[in-house]
Amino acid sequence: MGNFFRDNDDIQFLFRHLDLETVAGYAEEGFKYAGQFDTAPADGAEARKNYELVLDALGQLSADFIAPRGESIDREGNTLNPDGSVSYAKGIAESLNALAKMEVMGFTLPHRFGGLNFPSTIYSIAIEIVSRADASLMNIFGLQGIAETINFFADEDIKKHYLPHFASGKVTGAMVLTEPDAGSDLQAVKLRAFQNDSGQWYLHGVKRFITNGCGEVLLVLARSEPDRSGGLGLSLFVCDRGSTVRVRRLEEKLGIHGSPTCELFFDNTPCQIIGERQRGLVTYVMSLMNGARIGIAGQSMGIAEAAYRIARDYARSREQFGGPIEKLPAVRDLVIKMKMDVEAGRALLYETSRIVDLELYLTKIAEGPDAATNKEAAKEAKQQLKKIKRLAALLTPMSKYYCSEMSNRVTYDSIQVLGGSGYMRDYACERLARDARITTIYEGTSQLQVVAAVRGVCGGAAEKYLEELAAMNYADSVKDLIAILDEGRKTLLDCAAFAKEQGVDYMDLYGRQLVDMAMALIIGYLFCGQASREVQMNASVADSGQADAVKNIPMTERKQMLARRWVTRNAAQIKAWAEEIKAGDKSSFRQYEILAGPVPELG
């Protein structure tokens, strides 16, 4: 029997070293629910055990049940029926049913609604595991942020009506945001929300590119203020997919074929408002999308992990030129880079998830119903919250950007390792490459993530975070690497200051270089931190043909090697990025029409 949680040494290592007890204490509000609900732990140790049990079961289900259905799901896709309903691929329907029986469809929902009340950090691990089995299934499993948004912002009656059904897996949902003329620019949303004389809200208009638009519960961004343009004219609504909502078409896509992408028509659909008017985009959808971006980073990790494993196995077993192709320096270097980049993404994602958890729980303490009675705790939480919010705003787009771009590189390189076989459907890497491509596009393109992250890089958030990372205790074996990273920090600050002096347009033009530099440093410190762990785990190597000396290298020793390769190789890259940034080349502004050439005729 396989297990996508147990067979991943890096996940096992990080799970054991994450400060889950602190996060669990926040999530369980001091473990006050123990005894009230069967799923509520009594302390941090019990919470960690609960997390492990669920991830273990999910890892086994993903390996033995979900993954074998991936290929048939990709070929079958979804079906739009004459009545406007959608039928999932057989494997998707079976997997969703299995996940519902496991009671993991309310992963982060409170106990009182039948949820597990798990933190985002554990949810990120779960999303990676499921995505490794089938990335398209994750697009439905990972939409639990819809229920979270209802829980955070809706009134009690709406919560009680919808959330138990989400937690039981009886319903799935959809984020209904995008329109034909409003893609990334959600301020341009036109779908109309209006009230009748008795105050009942209705929706009318078209939405496009809606993931799981055939879900039973729809969270819809609509224009409630017809006389007000921009984001402040928008509110958020929830409705059931009834007779007044029609799926007009299913999109024909490059990948994630098991995930239905729908065009929806709302014909005066009755709905309820979530929270307050005019806060739909500015407050509620931004919160929803930040969670979704973490989810896409997790999805990217699962895809990349699956692709790396195919390449690693093939490089070991494929004989050419008198031996396995992994003996060829070019192949060997490519496989190492794939593995290193996957672990880099995981380090960044799990750290980001931890910070997002802290932001959520500190917000509850600072602004929740108990804030008035526990003023001292609320005051302290508010003080911490300012810094944590800035850090979450920096790391969230970074994680989505790095993990999705990395996933595309790794799946591309997986095909390259397999050569002609990788291009054929005999191996899953061609499907993984098609699935990975969307990750840099939906929930905000890589370019938009860079624009968001570079504000934190040039605005001081990255500087303060890097200072905190640099001040941590590290093992003597990596102290020389810390010195290299400290030198890189100085280079980053110098480049950020230079870019700011040139203006916002210049900062955005070289945003990728600035953000890449910051991420290289952050991940470098995280790797050095992993290499400094006192508790050592022996790496489990599936291939019994490898030498015992390789099998029994402690994980911390391997992490030291990984940190050394990452830091030393990126040191040269940081200098190269710095040269680009400080060269002052503004030809993209001044010579665009000449360098891009005339607009070509298509046809």
pLDDT for residue 432 = 98
Mean pLDDT over each residue of the chain, to the nearest integer = 94
pLDDT for residue 534 = 62
What percentage of the chain reaches a pLDDT higher than 70?
A: 97
Is the per-residue pLDDT at 142 higher than 90? yes
Pick one of 1.20.140.10, 1.10.1050.10, 1.10.287.110, 3.30.365.10 as the CATH number of 291-444. 1.20.140.10
Query: If DSSP codes are grouped into helix, strand and coil, which group holds residue 181?
Result: coil
Is the per-residue pLDDT at 541 higher than 80? no
**Model confidence over 348-399: pLDDT tens digits?**
999 999 999 999 999 989 988 888 788 888 889 999 999 999 999 999 999 9
- Is the separation of the CB atoms in 517 and 488 below 8 Å? yes
pLDDT for residue 544 = 37
- Is the separation of the CB atoms in 393 and 401 below 8 Å? no
What percentage of the chain reaches a pLDDT higher than 90?
A: 90
DSSP states along 191-219: -EEEE-TT--EEEEEEEEEEETTTSSEEE
pTM (two decimals): 0.95
Average pLDDT of 181-210?
A: 94
Is the per-residue pLDDT at 539 higher than 70? no
Structure tokens at 58: 């999910």
**Model confidence over 82-125: pLDDT tens digits?**
988 999 999 999 999 999 999 999 999 999 999 999 999 999 99
pLDDT for residue 377 = 87
**Model confidence over 166-190: pLDDT tens digits?**
999 999 999 999 998 887 889 999 9
What is the CATH code of the structural domain delimited by 1-171? 1.10.540.10
Radius of gyration of the chain (CA): 24
CATH architecture of 462-595: Up-down Bundle (1.20)
Q: What gap in Å lies between CA 444 and CA 521, rounded to an integer?
A: 24
pLDDT for residue 542 = 40
Query: If DSSP codes are grouped into helix, strand and coil, which group holds residue 279?
Result: coil
Is the per-residue pLDDT at 535 higher than 60? no
Q: What gap in Å lies between CA 565 and CA 562, rounded to an integer?
A: 5
Is the per-residue pLDDT at 550 higher than 90? no
Average pLDDT of 17-29?
A: 94
E strands, 132-211, in order: 173-176, 192-195, 201-211
Structure tokens at 459: 């605005």
**Model confidence over 309-329: pLDDT tens digits?**
999 999 999 999 899 999 999
DSSP states along 288-342: HHHHHHHHHHHHHHHHHHHHHHHHHHHHHH-EETTEEGGGSHHHHHHHHHHHHHH
Is the per-residue pLDDT at 545 higher than 60? no
CATH superfamily assigned to domain 173-278: Butyryl-CoA Dehydrogenase, subunit A, domain 2 (2.40.110.10)
pLDDT for residue 551 = 53
Query: If DSSP codes are grouped into helix, strand and coil, which group holds residue 445?
Result: coil
pLDDT for residue 552 = 57
Average pLDDT of 215-222?
A: 97
61: burial class by Cβ within 10 Å (0-12, 13-18, 19+)?
buried
**Model confidence over 477-489: pLDDT tens digits?**
999 999 999 999 9
**Model confidence over 242-275: pLDDT tens digits?**
999 999 999 999 999 999 999 999 999 999 999 9
pLDDT for residue 76 = 97
Residue ranges per domain, the chain?
1-171, 173-278, 291-444, 462-595
337: burial class by Cβ within 10 Å (0-12, 13-18, 19+)?
middle
Structure tokens at 269: 């659909």
**Model confidence over 486-515: pLDDT tens digits?**
999 999 999 999 999 999 999 999 999 999
Q: What does the buried/exposed string (b/e) look like for 5-40 if buried means 16 or more CB atoms within 10 Å of the residue's CB?
A: bbebbbbbbbbebbebeebbbbbbeebebeeeeebb
